[in-house]
Amino acid sequence: MKFSKVAVWAVAFMLVLTRFMGVEVHAGKAQRLESVRSVSRESKFEQSLGEGQRVIDIYDYPDGRGFVADLEVIEQTQLYGPDISELRMSVRVEGQFRLHVQISDKSNSRWEVPLSLVPRNDPSLRKGSRFALPQEQLIKLTYTTKPFGFAVTRISNDEVLFNSTPSVKTSLEGVESPSFNSMVFKDQYLEISTHIPSSATLFGLGESTRPDGLPLVKGKTYSLWATDIGAMNANVDLYGAYPYYIDVRAGGLTHGVLLLNSNAMDIHYGGNFLTYRVIGGTFDFYFFVGPTPLDVVDQYTELVGRPAPMPYWSFGFHQCRWGYKNVDELKYVVENFKRASIPLDTIWNDIDYMQNYLDFTADPVNYPEEQLKDFVEELHANGQHYVLILDPGISIAYENYTTLKRGLAEDIFLKDEQNENYLAQVWPGPVYFPDFFNPKGSAWWANEISEFHKKIPFDGLWIDMNEVSNFCSGTQCKFNGVVYPNLNECYLECKESSTQWDNPPYKITTAYKNIGDKTVAMGVKHFDGTLEYNAHNLYGLSESIATNKALQATRKKRPFILARSTFVGSGAQTAHWTGDNAATFKDLEYSIATILNSGMVGVPMIGADICGFAGDSNMELCNRWMQLGAFYPFSRNHNIFGAIPQEPYVWDQVASSSRAALSMRYRLLPYFYSLMFEAHNKGAPIARPLFFAFPEDINTLKISTQFLLGSGVLVTPVVLPEATTVNGYFPMGTWYNLFDYASKVESKGEHFELAAPSDSINVHVHEGTILPMQESALTSAEAMTTPFTLVVAFPASKSSGFATGKLFLDNGDDIEMVIRKGRSTFVRFFAQQSVQRGVLSSKVVSGDYAIQKGLTVQTIIILGANSAATSLTINSVQVSSSISSSFDSAAASTTISGLSVPVGSEFQLQWTTQAHSTSPQGLNLATVTCGEKL
């Protein structure tokens, strides 16, 4: 369904509480309706968790933007502990498309996600905001008084988006029972449910590896608990926690629901209901009304933080492995990439470079500081980059370890129940963990990064093991003074924790037996008294924030960080990868859904370990994975210690396929980078599910092995062994093969069987797209200086059509990614053709940067051209003889080459197929020179 931008912005987002089983509110003023009886159940049913709450009082906010309601429990129960007797609910309108509902203990404060980690931007509070009240209604909230429940409704079609009020159903035996429990609120157990209609398709609630594909599966429970367990394990909680889902209804109407809560939880999708079971915190809900998938992500990231801009070089290809023995081997790898003519932007080091696996050290034998520094400077001279790993555990086993000494002096480590530094074990043996909630901890971390950067001028940091991972379980561990290197089994003597935090009354379905297993004990405290029980899922986010600030201060350039553990808002700080997968075709296939889920939760810079991390890869698998991975937003080959080498030059066939696929990636770098700019401004994923561009097409909701880059490029990889064809779904329109332009798919919304020989991957551009491309090169630094080609895709089966595109340019390293005079250029492209005429024009914002760099459009390729262009003008001037135009009748494409049009200057190219006509009269240029605001 298409929505007019003008219409959407004209409709306001204002809370209206309407008459619904006991309470009616008009214009933000609450009134108790004496004539309406409270709802009661004449036939009570047995509920071990009680009958919920009743509303006892309502207070309006003076600004008219919501209200507060007081609730009291109807019946005390003891399952999972006693109920909190009195609750308070606040309801606030925030901006045009967002509703905030929070329910908590009325008398006592409870844990909430800190604003310092997730900012919760409220646009309606901005001075002079266009979101300020009064506004017309897009959404309304209704509630029942007894038992309490609330519903959120989209006013335009009266569709209920969320409804926590249980309905009563009669079984075959004639016994009444609820569809689900009324709301439950105890100290360590919170439960709330919502009805889900049969027309809904749900996405999100991660992170986990999902063999069933992208949509949530009815009957499954999704557990949210940051856990160090390999991503090759399906259907278990992994590294990230995202209590957020997107709900797509009939016709493509979409909304989002975020429960901003960092405690452990199970979310059960029962088919016609969804139930949250949370072991702490509050109910802190945000509802995003959409109405399109892109609108929902825009509204969600406006709240939790826009995705951080990534440096240009990070969109190049990366190579890593756990097991590069020394600097000479790194040099060997880089040289082999060059010898094989395979692009390489960044070489990485896993923990091999460290001395005894100590952070901020280099092995004096295999990675001497001076030798490693010289190597990195050679990389920089070649336009390449270097990233190294850091784990949060700081070893205590070495007396002269200055990083530990400075940390002890500042007292920045997590504390156990006796207020001693909490002892754990990871790769370097016994360790303390920094507390990134502590401002002194973040400052200490920044200092260590700065001091190490003076020795090794790295370009980015990879922060791993930050769930946080611990090889031991328990509290008050002891170290006997003997270090056992390379041993990932616990050798500390640890006391088993028996607190209510490590053994809560409700146990979520984690990958391990208890939530405190293989991580920090739940009773461990942060500097402000915050329990790990509450903050566990936030450790990776807090480390990412500290690392981002440290890199900005140290390098004075745009940070690049890759973090394993993430939470809501992590995308504003870091890139992410899918974790420790395996070298199997199943893991290749599953990576697609995981990457798409990451983009939907605001982490668009996402990739998987290409060719597989664990186990030995093979030629066929690595061949297909390099083809797929060339189109991940973050593209990195990485494998485990002891596995056979899997760099793309190892096998001739893989090298050939990699050259082809990565050559296309490097040609598309301007497109990737422009999508990053869109993500940074609007939250839009770089890699997107098909339904993001085609929400009305119900068939796109089930597609889990294809993805879009932006809205115009479709990637259809081979995900099965021994396959030479691939079945792909193509939404309506013409799709042109990007590798040859000639082969195309004209679809009414259908599946097609495509040829997929071993040396190729299917990548198509959709009609209506203008694709900015540059020349391929072995580094992004070289590629970004080459001339541009604009690929303009019109419908093949129609004689007229439109196309649009965008291009953002800057030096790729400025800390801010903004349109700024002399520092960046932003261009919109618009094209239209009729039977005999066509026009392509640009609209430039701040063109100085592109002009300074001498960037030009050299070639224009028109796909779906009606016939040969016999007359060309640029800015109403007939083109010179040095500009050539050729028409391929078989491909129905026109190529105009020899141009030298400055990207930073506005231009209008006009063509006609009639020799006597020199201007495309009859085209409505106004329709192609206006576009939506950034």
Q: Which residues are catalytic?
A: 464, 467, 580
Residue type, 208: S
3-state secondary structure of 471: coil
Tokens of 64: 């008219």
Residue 582 has a CB neighbour count (10 Å cut-off) of: 19
The label of the residue with tokens 């992208």 reads 214
Output the CA–CA distances (angstroms, integers) from residue 694 to 136, 237, 523, 712, 766, in the order listed. 28, 30, 48, 11, 12
Judge contact between 634 and 595, C-beta under 8 A: no
CB 96 within 8 A of CB 131: yes
Q: Give the N- to C-terminal CA distance of the chain in Å, as an integer.
A: 22
Q: By CB neighbour count within 10 A (0-12 exposed, 13-18 middle, 19+ buried), where does 349 fall?
A: buried
**Three-state DSSP class for residue 572:** helix
Strand extents, DSSP E, 660-769:
687-688, 707-709, 713-716, 725-730, 733-737, 744-747, 750-755, 762-766
Q: Nearest to residue 161, comparing CAs of 301, 311, 289?
A: 289
- Which 3 state secondary structure label does DSSP give 94? strand
* Residue 681, CA atoms < 13 Å, CB-side half-sphere: 13
Which residues make Cβ contacts (< 8 Å) with residue 672, sequence separation at least 6?
A: 315, 633, 665, 686, 709
Q: Read out DSSP for 507-553?
A: ----SSSSTTTTS--TT-B-TTS-BHHHHGGGHHHHHHHHHHHHHHH
CA proximity to 236, closest of 427, 489, 393, 467: 467
The whole-angstrom distance between residue 576's C-alpha and the CA centroid of its chain comes to: 8
CA 393 to centroid of chain Cα atoms:
26
141, 142, 138: which is closest to 155 by C-alpha?
138
DSSP state of 44: -
CA atoms within 13 A on the CB side of 582: 12
- Written in H, E and C, the secondary structure of 699-717 is HHHHCCCCEEECCCEEEEC
Q: Report the b/e string of 538-556 with b at 16+ CB within 10 A.
A: bbbbbbbbbbbbbbeebbe
Helix axes 439-455, 539-555, angle to 10 degrees: 50
Joined together, the tokens standing for residue 247 give 């709900």
Cβ contact 830:801 at 8 Å: no
- Residue 444 DSSP label: H
Sort strands 346-349 and 317-319 into parallel, antiparallel or unpaired: parallel
Kindly report the CA angle at 29 between 144 and 299, in degrees rounded to 5? 75
| Alpha carbons 285 and 112: distance in angstroms, whole number | 12
> What letter would DSSP give residue 570?
G
Report the alpha-carbon distance of residue 37 to residue 44 in Å, rounded. 18
Beta strands 254-259 and 242-248, pairing class? antiparallel
> Which residues are 839's β-sheet partners?
832, 910
